[in-house]
């Protein structure tokens, strides 16, 4: 594996201090800020998630490329500026290095955040939902690069499951094929982002951060590379039940088709449509689930930091 020494990279003061002191770190993506939520809800989410991680005894490292520099940890001003940026690129494995060499500003998806986190020695990452296999993927071939990254890069990704806008059964099949463990936290059913249930059993279940840390340690000891996906159900008081979401999702998918949306634009378009259709309720749920994931990710990072 390579390191970051030949790249233009900046660590925030807080992340630099944590790296030298050995304080547990939790990576955070930035596409959710620039493409996943409208301003100012996106900034509120980004700031509250960072303080939740600090309250658990870990340090947040929000990752983004700003004017060609890879940032591991953003200070307050940089986070605020990014939340207001209208034209940031959405960066995945294919174009992370492009933004750096061309001096561009871009937000990192799950895949690109995993790459940067792993190179910076960060083992745990909190997000909302991963990208996956889209519905009708047999026609569009739209399968997120997040899945291949989970197979390759050794980072534990804490999510609220796969967004129900996707084909969740196919997403789970691809993860199984690629050898990515899918672990649901505290229940038998794999969660579906806005809803606690997906109707699908989770391949694996664990009920404590220490068990997740132990599992990943043993995968490393066996020389099994790659990441792990944790599905952490949204708290009950914040969920939108599955039956209700199905109607909203059908409407959002119909809008995407009518507007001929394809490629990278699909996920942001669907999320924005669902915010509109639910009159902002989906945003409140989205923020609550990311906060919930940040808390669990911090606890896993703390558990990983302890020997044994
Ligand atoms: N989940 C959210 N909001 C988001 C995303 C996921 O709640 O904005 C982003 C993540 O960055 C994820 C990306 O990696 O969508 C997946 O995009 P695509 O399907 O184009 O790979
Ligand atoms: Mn896609």
Q: Is residue 274 within 8 Å of residue 248, measured between CB atoms? A: yes
Atom of ligand 1 nearest to the CA of 112: 14
148 is catalytic: no
Q: Is 108 in the pocket of ligand 1 (CB under 6 A)?
A: no
User: What pLDDT, on the 0 to 100 scale, is given for residue 307?
Assistant: 59
The reply to whether 124-308 shares the fold of 1-122 is yes
User: What pLDDT, on the 0 to 100 scale, is given for residue 2?
Assistant: 62
Mutation choice for ligand 1 from 109, 162, 278, CB with most ligand atoms inside 8 A = 109
Q: What residue ranges do the domains of the chain occupy? A: 1-122, 124-308
Q: Is 267 in the pocket of ligand 1 (CB under 6 A)?
A: yes
Per-residue pLDDT of the chain (308 residues; tens, 9 = 90+): 467 889 999 999 999 999 999 999 999 999 999 999 999 999 999 999 999 999 999 999 999 999 999 999 999 999 999 999 999 999 999 999 999 999 999 999 999 999 999 999 999 999 999 999 999 999 999 999 999 999 999 999 999 999 888 999 999 999 999 999 999 999 999 999 999 999 999 999 999 999 999 999 999 999 999 999 999 999 999 999 999 999 999 999 999 999 999 999 999 999 999 999 999 999 999 999 999 999 999 999 999 998 54
Question: Which residue among 14, 56, 163, 239 is the active-site one?
Answer: 163
What tokens were used for 133? 């296999």
170 is catalytic: no
CATH classification of 1-122 is 3.20.20.150, yes or no? no
Residue 261 phi, psi (nearest 5): -75, 135
Question: Which residue among 14, 29, 149, 239 is the active-site one?
Answer: 29
Q: Is residue 149 within 8 Å of residue 113, measured between CB atoms? A: no
- Cα-to-centroid distance, 130 and ligand 1 (Å): 6
User: What pLDDT, on the 0 to 100 scale, is given for residue 209?
Assistant: 98
User: What pLDDT, on the 0 to 100 scale, is given for residue 306?
Assistant: 85
Nearest CA to ligand 1 atom 11: 109
CATH classification of 124-308 is 3.40.50.720, yes or no? no
């Amino acid at each position: 594996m390579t390191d970051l020494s030949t790249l233009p990279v900046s660590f925030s003061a807080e992340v630099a201090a944590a790296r030298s002191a050995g304080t547990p770190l939790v990576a955070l993506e930035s596409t959710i800020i620039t493409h996943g939520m409208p301003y100012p809800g996106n900034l509120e989410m980004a700031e509250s998630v960072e303080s939740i991680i600090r309250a658990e005894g870990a340090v947040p490292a929000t990752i983004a490329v700003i004017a060609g520099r890879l940032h591991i940890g953003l200070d307050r001003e940089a986070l605020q500026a990014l939340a207001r940026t209208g034209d940031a690129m959405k960066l995945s494995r294919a174009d992370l290095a492009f933004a750096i060499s061309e001096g561009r500003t871009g937000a990192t998806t799950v895949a690109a955040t995993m790459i940067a986190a792993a190179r910076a020695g960060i083992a745990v990452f909190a997000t909302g939902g991963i990208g996956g296999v889209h519905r009708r993927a047999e026609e569009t071939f739209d399968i997120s690069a997040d899945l291949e990254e989970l197979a390759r890069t050794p980072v534990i990704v804490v999510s609220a499951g796969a967004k129900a806008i996707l084909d969740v059964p196919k997403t789970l099949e691809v993860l199984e094929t690629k050898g990515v463990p899918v672990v649901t936290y505290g229940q038998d059913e794999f969660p579906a982002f806005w809803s606690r249930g997906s109707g699908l059993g989770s391949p694996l279940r664990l009920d404590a951060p220490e068990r997740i840390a132990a599992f990943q340690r043993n995968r490393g000891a066996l020389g099994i590379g790659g990441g792990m996906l944790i599905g952490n159900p949204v708290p009950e008081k914040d969920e939108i039940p599955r039956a209700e979401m199905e109607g909203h999702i059908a409407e959002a998918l119909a809008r995407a088709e009518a507007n001929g949306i394809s490629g990278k634009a699909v996920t942001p378009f669907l999320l924005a449509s669902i915010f509109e259709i639910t009159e902002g309720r989906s945003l409140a749920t989205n923020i609550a689930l990311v906060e919930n994931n940040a808390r669990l990710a911090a606890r896993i990072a703390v558990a990983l930091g302890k020997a044994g």
